[in-house]
Amino acid sequence: MSEKFTKWEEFEKELNLTPEEEQQIRLEMDVIKATIEARKKNKLTQRELSKKSGVKQPVIARIEKCINSPQTNTLIKLLYPMGYTLRVVPLEEKK
């Protein structure tokens, strides 16, 4: 993958992801986005959330920048002090 890509579609094609891998990435991004939105809705900085959750601020930053994938227990630690939790729900039916 040494050639440079000018379009996302070219890069995406080169990745050769399975539909399951694409779904996993989308799900992780949705969870991270929802966690960021919850933090902002609670008017908390990363540092303040760190104090409330016990998760170090640099870890929160890496999760929010999508550098690290959050573990379930870390997500729960972050969400619980803000009044949120994780839940398994059925997928929406395809139309």
pLDDT digits (tens, 9 = 90+) for 13-34: 778 888 899 899 999 999 999 9
Q: How far apart are CA 86 and CA 46, in angstroms?
A: 20
Q: How far apart are CA 81 and CA 45, in angstroms?
A: 13
Query: What is the average pLDDT value for the chain, to the nearest integer?
Result: 90
CATH number of the CATH domain containing 41: 1.10.260
pTM of the predicted model as reported, rounded to 2 decimal places: 0.79
Q: Which domain holds residue 12?
A: 8-82
Query: What whole-number percentage of the chain has pLDDT above 90?
Result: 65
Q: Is position 29 within any domain?
A: yes
